[in-house]
């Protein structure tokens, strides 16, 4: 059985591809030690988007690259595992960051039973 002693970092772009990102984020927070968001967006943009969405995160990446943010997180949070959930655009990032593993959003969503956004989920509120 896998350990829940893990630090989980979502790319902001990955969260935005989920049909219900806040629900998925809250679900993941129940089985992780630390959870947060990393992004290459400016700090102002990242914080505004996270605040508007209401994600209850333990960390944000701040004004740095995703690679720098992951390295910094590794030094601040001591857990057994470090997992970065990202998109196709971010799949090569962890190759340069020791001890982090990459999980594609599609695989993570399948394993955790999170729905990905689709044309049908976008129109759910349409009368």
The token pair at 99 is 């001890």
Task: Return the residue matching tokens 């982090």.
Answer: 100
Confidence of residue 4 (pLDDT cuts 50, 70, 90): confident
Residue 127 is assigned to a structural domain of this protein: no
Q: Count of domains in the chain?
A: 1
Q: How do residues 28-51 score in pLDDT, each as one tens digit?
A: 999 999 999 998 888 888 888 888
Residue 96 is assigned to a structural domain of this protein: yes
Residue 79 belongs to a domain with what CATH number?
Answer: 3.40.50.1000
CB atoms within 10 A of CB 64: 15
Q: What value does the CA radius of gyration of the chain take, rounded to a whole number of Å?
A: 14
Residue 107 is assigned to a structural domain of this protein: yes
Q: Average per-residue pLDDT in the chain?
A: 86
Residue 42 is assigned to a structural domain of this protein: yes
Confidence of residue 127 (pLDDT cuts 50, 70, 90): very low
- With CA atoms as reference, report the closest residue to 34 among 63, 62, 59: 59
Residue 18 predicted with pLDDT over 90: yes
Q: Which structural domain range is residue 25 located in?
A: 6-120
């Amino acid at each position: 059985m896998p350990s829940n002693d893990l630090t989980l970092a979502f790319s902001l772009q990955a969260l935005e591809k989920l049909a219900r990102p806040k629900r998925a984020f809250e679900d993941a927070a129940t089985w992780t030690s630390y959870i947060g968001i990393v992004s290459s967006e400016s700090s102002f943009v990242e914080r505004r988007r996270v605040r508007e969405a209401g994600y209850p995160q333990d960390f944000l990446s701040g004004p740095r690259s995703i690679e720098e943010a992951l390295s910094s997180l590794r030094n601040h949070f001591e857990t057994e595992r470090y997992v970065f959930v990202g998109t196709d655009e971010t799949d090569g990032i962890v190759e340069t960051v020791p001890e982090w593993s990459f999980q594609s959003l599609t695989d993570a969503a399948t394993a955790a039973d999170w729905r990905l956004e689709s044309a049908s989920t976008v129109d759910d509120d349409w009368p």
